Amino acid sequence: MCILVSHMQNKLIALIITLGFTTGAKAQYLNELTLVISPLKFEEQSSYQMLYRRELSNENLHLRAGLRLYANTDKQQRLDTLYTNTGTVQYDFAIGLQRDLSFGDFETLKLYVAGDAYLNSDLRKLKNYDYYRYYWNLGVMPIVGIGYEPVDRIRLSVESRANLNFNMQDYSGEGENYDRKVSFRPLDKLAIGIGYLF
């Protein structure tokens, strides 16, 4: 599963770059589809996210919607001759608003601030259980970013994301938010994106 996801991501990056170099004159695009990667966790499939942005009636305001999906249902942990099977199916769904800020006379370089509300879901089989259990939490991510358009239809972006997380469940499990009611991380993730405008 992980190999298949990685192969699809490589094809998507190649397609976005190819489309960017084969388009014509500069135009005003309302939509953007971006592959977002966390470079600090580059080899983890769970660090990849698809982000959709749409420009609203105000040209400096954008709607954001993001989705991350990760599945690993065939994981084995072994200690000498003892082993246990574990696995997980995770997704994050995020939606928010983004506002572009002026940055001198640069047309292809933009600063922006954003806020995403998200739901994190995890269907996980822990090593102490023989069945899958459902976990979830939600939160808000304040975001500061920079966007750059080197060629028509292609936008590169870098985002610094904070994370205010709320855990409404009472359970013990694995993961960052498994037993915290409220947590705040001012620098939770550095995200790099390559986007296609259409």
Query: Which phi and psi angles does 46 have, rounded to 5°?
Result: -70, -10
Q: How many CB atoms lie within 10 A of CB 79?
A: 7
What is the pTM for the complete model shown? 0.75
The number of C-alpha atoms within 13 Å of 56 and in the hemisphere containing its C-beta is: 11
pLDDT at position 75 is: 65
Task: Give the pLDDT score at 124.
Answer: 80
| Six-digit token string for 55 | 């420009």
Mean pLDDT by 10 residues, the chain (198 residues): 52 53 58 91 71 90 94 70 73 95 82 96 76 86 95 95 87 62 90 95
Q: Which residue has the tokens 């610094």?
A: 160
Place of tokens 């960017």: 20
Q: Which two tokens stand for residue 6?
A: 């990685």
Host domain of residue 113: 2-197
- Residue 2 has a pLDDT of 47
Q: Look at the chain and report how many structural domains it folds into.
A: 1
Check if the beta carbon of residue 192 is closer than 8 Å to that of residue 36. yes
Q: What is the pLDDT of residue 40?
A: 76
Predicted local distance difference test score (pLDDT) of residue 133: 81
> Which CATH number fits the domain that encloses residue 86?
2.40.160.20
Rounded to whole angstroms, the Cα distance separating 120 from 141 reads 12
